[in-house]
Structure 1
Amino acid sequence: MVRNYIRKTDRQRWSSETMERAVAAVVRGVMGCKKASVQFQLPQTTLERYVKKRRTGPNSVIDKTAGKYHCVFTQDQEVELVVYLKDMQKRLFGLTLKELRKLAYQLAVRNGCEHPFNKHTEMAGEDWVHSFMRRHSELSLRKPEATSGARAMGFNRVAVAQFFTLLNKVIIEKKITCERIYNCDETGITVIPKQHSRVIANRGQR
C-alpha cells in the first residue's frame, strides 16, 4: 500500500459493530435492507451481501480486513526481524534500508509468503520498508560514528588487560625507561571510512 495514501471515496467508512447490528435487524425481520441501510447509514449492496452470508451460514463474521492489501509477514515474523536488526546493531553491523529490503525479500521467498516485492531487483519496495519502520517505532535510522569495527570489538576488559600485561612484560624485559617511550599515531592512513550510510538502530541510541 502506498505510504501517503489519500482516501478518494467513502467506501468502508462504516464500522463492523454497526454492520453487525444492521445485519441482525434484517435477519430477525425487524426491517428490510433498504430501511436498515438508511437507518444505520450503510451501503445497501454491502448490507445485502452480508445478510446473504449470514442467512447461508449463521456463524459468518463481518471482516473488513479481507481486502486487497495485507501484511506480507505475520506478527511473529516481523518481531523476529526486529530482533535480528537490533542484534546486528549490537554487533556493529547495522543494516541500511537497502539491506533490509533485500533481507525482507529473501525472508518472504524462504517462508513461501505471498508478496508484491520486485522479483527483478530481489528487494522489498520502499513503501513496505517505510510502513515497517512506522509499525516498529523503536527503530530509527542513525548515522554511525567513525569507529572501525576492529577497534570497537577489541576494546573490552579481557583485551585491554592482556595489552597492558604484555606492555608491562616488554618494559621490564627490555628495561625501557620513560624517556624512550613515544606516543605515535597514524598519519595519512585510515581504516575508517569517511562516508557512512545511515543504519537501522534503536531509537535514541548512539
Structure 2
Amino acid sequence: MVKNYKKKQNTGRLQYSQDDMVAAVLDVNEGMSERAASAKHNAPQSTLHHRICGHVQSPGQSGRSTALLQIEEVALAQNLATMGDFGLAFDLSEMRMFVKVHLDTMHRSIPQFADNLPGVDWAHGFMQRHKDLRSTRHCQNINRKRAAVSEVICQKYFDNLQTSIADIEPHLIINYDETNLTDDPKTKLMIFRKGTKHPERIMNTTKSSTSIMFSVTATGMLLDPYVVFKGERLQDSWIMCGPLNTHYNVT
C-alpha cells in the first residue's frame, strides 16, 4: 500500500530566498567570510557552506534529495510525456522498470531502490513532483493500422467520395457506423501529458465484442439497427427484451 506522507505545517520550508543565497555565494567567492555573507543576506550559514562545497543536488528544494539526479527526473518526465503523445504510454510499473534498466545500463546502484527497482512510493512521489504528467487517465487501445491514418488519407477519402456520389440521389446515399461493445476492455491508468484530450495507447491485441450498426440516409431517414454477436449460432436469450425493429446476426 502506498504511504501518504503529510508534512507538518511550517516545518521543512525554506526560510530564505534563492536570490539571497546566490548573492551570499557570490560574496563568499569575492572574499567575504561565510559568516559575514550569511548575516548580510539572511541565509543559513550551514546551507551556504554546503552550497559552496557543491553538496546540494537540488538547490531550492527542502527535505531529502531525490534518488535520481534532478536532470534525470526532468528528462524522464519529458520522455514519458512524449511517449504518451506517440500513443506508446507507460503505466507506473513500466516506468519503474524503465528506471531500473537505465540504472543497470549505466552501472549505477541506488541504495534507496531494492535491486535498482524504484518502489511504488517513489513512483507516486515522482508524479507529484512533475505536475505536467497524470497517471489517472484511462486510455483507449487502438491498433497500429488505425493510428497510421493521417490527415492526407482522410482528405483523399472525401475527394473520392465526392466523385463517387456525384450523380446519386440523396435517399440512396447511406451513412453507416459501427460501434463495438467490448466485454473486457481492461483500460489501464497510463501516464500522459497534462491536458491530453484523447489518451490512447497503440496495441495489436483486442478483446471480443458485440457490434451494433446504425445507418441513416442523406435525407435523414434512420434505418433499423443491426446487432452482430460473436458466435456460430444465434441464441434466443441474446435477443430477449431487445429494442423493437432490431435485426440480429452472428459472425
**If the length of structure 2 is used for normalisation, what is the TM-score?**
0.47
Q: Residue in 2 aligned with 1:200?
A: 191
CA distance in structure 2 between the aligned counterparts of 1:71 and 1:64, rounded to whole angstroms: 11
Alignment of 1:51-62 (within 5 A): none
CA distance in structure 1 between the aligned counterparts of 2:131 and 2:171, rounded to whole angstroms: 55
The amino acid of 2:171's aligned partner reads E
Report how far residue 126 of structure 1 moved: 0.8
Secondary structure of 1:71 counterpart: coil
CA distance in structure 1 between the aligned counterparts of 2:165 and 2:84, rounded to whole angstroms: 38
Alignment of 1:12-23 (within 5 A): none
Count residues in correspondence.
154
Q: Residue in 2 aligned with 1:183?
A: 175
Secondary structure of 1:194 counterpart: coil
Q: Is the 8 A contact 2:139 2:190 kept in 1?
A: no
Alignment of 1:17-56 (within 5 A): none
Distance 1:139 1:179, change over 3 A: same
Q: Is the 8 A contact 1:3 1:131 kept in 2?
A: no
Listed as ranges, the gaps of 5+ residues in structure 1 are: 8-14, 18-22, 25-49, 51-59
CA distance in structure 1 between the aligned counterparts of 2:121 and 2:141, rounded to whole angstroms: 32
CA distance in structure 1 between the aligned counterparts of 2:163 and 2:118, rounded to whole angstroms: 55
The amino acid of 1:4's aligned partner reads Y
CA distance in structure 2 between the aligned counterparts of 1:105 and 1:77, rounded to whole angstroms: 13
CA distance in structure 2 between the aligned counterparts of 1:166 and 1:193, rounded to whole angstroms: 37
Higher relative contact order (CA 8 A, sep 6+): 1
Report how far residue 198 of structure 1 moved: 1.2
Report how far residue 149 of structure 1 moved: 5.5
- Kindly report the root-mean-square deviation, in angstroms, between the aligned alpha carbons of the 2 structures: 4.2
Secondary structure of 2:66 counterpart: coil
Report how far residue 156 of structure 1 moved: 4.2
Matched, 1:143 2:144: no
User: Is the helix fraction higher in 1 or 2?
Assistant: 1
CA distance in structure 2 between the aligned counterparts of 1:76 and 1:165, rounded to whole angstroms: 49
Matched, 1:91 2:86: yes
Alignment of 1:42-121 (within 5 A): 71-115=66-110, 116-119=112-115
Q: Is the 8 A contact 2:85 2:193 kept in 1?
A: no
User: Is the strand fraction higher in 1 or 2?
Assistant: 2
CA distance in structure 2 between the aligned counterparts of 1:3 and 1:189, rounded to whole angstroms: 37
Distance 1:113 1:201, change over 3 A: same
Report how far residue 90 of structure 1 moved: 1.0
The amino acid of 2:177's aligned partner reads D
Report how far residue 151 of structure 1 moved: 8.2
**If the length of structure 1 is used for normalisation, what is the TM-score?**
0.55
Listed as ranges, the gaps of 5+ residues in structure 2 are: 9-14, 16-20, 22-33, 36-45, 47-51, 58-63, 198-251
Q: How far does the alpha carbon of each residue in 1:64-86 deviate from its partner, in whole angstroms, 9 at most, with x for none? A: 98xxx753322222211111111
Matched, 1:158 2:147: no
Report how far residue 159 of structure 1 moved: 2.2
